[in-house]
Amino acid sequence: MKQMIRAWRHVFKLDPDRDLDDAALEAVCQSGTDAVMIGGSSGVTYENTVDLLSRVRRFEVPCVLEISDLEAVVPGFDLYMIPIVLNAGHPDWIIGQHARAIEQYGHLIPWELLMPEGYLVLNPEATVAKVTEAQAPLDSAEARAYAQVADRLLQLPIVYLEYSGQIGDFELVSDVRRTLDQARLFYGGGIVDGETARRAAAVSDTVIVGNAVYENLEQALETVEAVKGTATAAAKKS
Ligand code: 1GP
């Protein structure tokens, strides 16, 4: 199951705290995206997560949960993405919450379904930056150093550059991609249409599209083809 992430080029991230009607959800799930990730930085509850999972489950697309609140961990997902916020200002978001979760629920944890993500929060205005007290922005050298901590020292399978709500610095993203040895580079933030998606896809392994689903669905759907038609950063490197 964990291997599936290696094939992901495009992922839609849905926020259980935001409304999406059935027709829109169907379009997202049938779009050809590689996975639907459910997650958000605020207002995520057990109830709204169960509700969204059960609606996505009517379709074949893999559905994974990005855990941000322990109260909202719902069984039945294909994978559980566990953010480790490398540049968090508070240790709770690096390992503190994780240790408490294991202490509390250790015997229930399906370890084989857990997928840690080395997060770098790069938009200081994003909710996630405020919640985690992230030290952002970072320059390219700082971002590369954090990414190597995740990739080489901690051997995390994913480095996630999170610009949530704004378009990223693609030169920095490309610099980080080149330093990675084994981790996959996830990029998220400000992808609104085919053109922005293509640019992100050229410098990363997996492109995450969130907000655009709620702002302009038609253009959000165009990001799938745009990403899939773009050679991976890795392919271009070799
Ligand atoms: C958010 O990285 C995702 O966690 C996607 O960002 O909402 O800006 O598309 P956007």
pLDDT per residue over 152-171, tens digit each? Answer: 999 999 999 999 999 999 99
Q: How much is the mean pLDDT over the chain?
A: 95
Q: Quote the CA–CA distance of 13 and 163 in Å, as a whole number.
A: 13
| Residue entry with tokens 């080029």 | 9
C-alpha distance across the termini of the chain, in Å: 27
Instruction: Give the per-residue pLDDT at 238.
Output: 43
Return the minimum-mean-pLDDT range out of 22-26, 103-107, 218-222: 103-107
pTM, to two decimals: 0.96
**DSSP-based helix, strand, coil % in the chain, nearest 5:** 45, 20, 35
> Is 190 known as a binding-site position?
yes
Instruction: Give, for 108, the enclosing helix (H) or strand (E).
Output: none
Strand, helix or coil at 111? helix
Which ligand 1 atom sits closest to the C-alpha of 212?
9
Residue 115 and residue 145 in contact, taking contact as beta carbons nearer than 8 Å: no
Ligand 1, CB within 6 Å, residue ranges: 13, 162, 164-165, 188-191, 208-212
Q: Quote the CA–CA distance of 153 and 118 in Å, as a whole number.
A: 11
> Is 39 known as a binding-site position?
no
Of 163, 166, 221, which is best to mutate to test ligand 1, by the most ligand atoms within 8 angstroms of its C-beta? 163
> Is 130 known as a binding-site position?
no
Q: Is the pLDDT of residue 132 over 70?
A: yes
Which ligand 1 atom sits closest to the C-alpha of 165?
8
